[in-house]
Structure 1
């Protein structure tokens, strides 16, 4: 069986990165997040995402990657904003595009 290399989930965007590249990705992702957040209308702007603090260390002295990834995934998902018409969740910049075509369901 081929074992997949360990990955860490970005707490901002929710994508997986290698253990070495996550430290390069996170500052760039946060900078991109700030740029995109500043372009949104005031009502859709969000507070800066905080890096989750997971202090679970295994018996061998390693971080529990599953707990770390779960906390990061939850943080990334909390960045999504629900559509006030259909309730689906989107990133704020995508919500604007979605709302152009989202129509309330006709009453039967």
Structure 2
């Protein structure tokens, strides 16, 4: 059985990083998020994502990575914006591109 090293999900972008890399990634990811958010039209700008606080610590004093990753994943998914036509969810910068080609279904 191959055992992979533990990973932590970024609460901003939803990608997985190693336990040592996440502390380097999160400040850079948040800075990138600010830059991208400021370029969006005012109606698509989002509030700053908040880091979820999971207080489930095991008897040995370790964080419950499953609960921590689930909370971070939910936080990253809450950043998505639904299309007003089809309902699919996108990051706001990708929604603009999607809406160029998304057309309502014609009645049969």
TM-score computed with the length of structure 1 as normaliser: 0.99
Once the two structures are superposed, residues 36-94 of structure 1 have per-residue CA deviations (whole angstroms, 9 ceiling, x without a partner) of 00000000000000000001001111000000000000000000000000000000000
In 1, the alpha carbon distance for the partners of 2:26 and 2:20 equals 11
Shift of 1:18: 0.1
Q: Which residue of 1 aligns with 2:54?
A: 54
5+ residue gaps, structure 1 = none
TM-score computed with the length of structure 2 as normaliser: 0.99
Runs of at least 4 residues of structure 1 off by over 3 A?
none
Shift of 1:99: 0.2
What is the number of residues matched between the two proteins? 108
5+ residue gaps, structure 2 = none
In 2, the alpha carbon distance for the partners of 1:64 and 1:26 equals 19
SS in 2 for 1:58: coil
SS in 1 for 2:47: coil
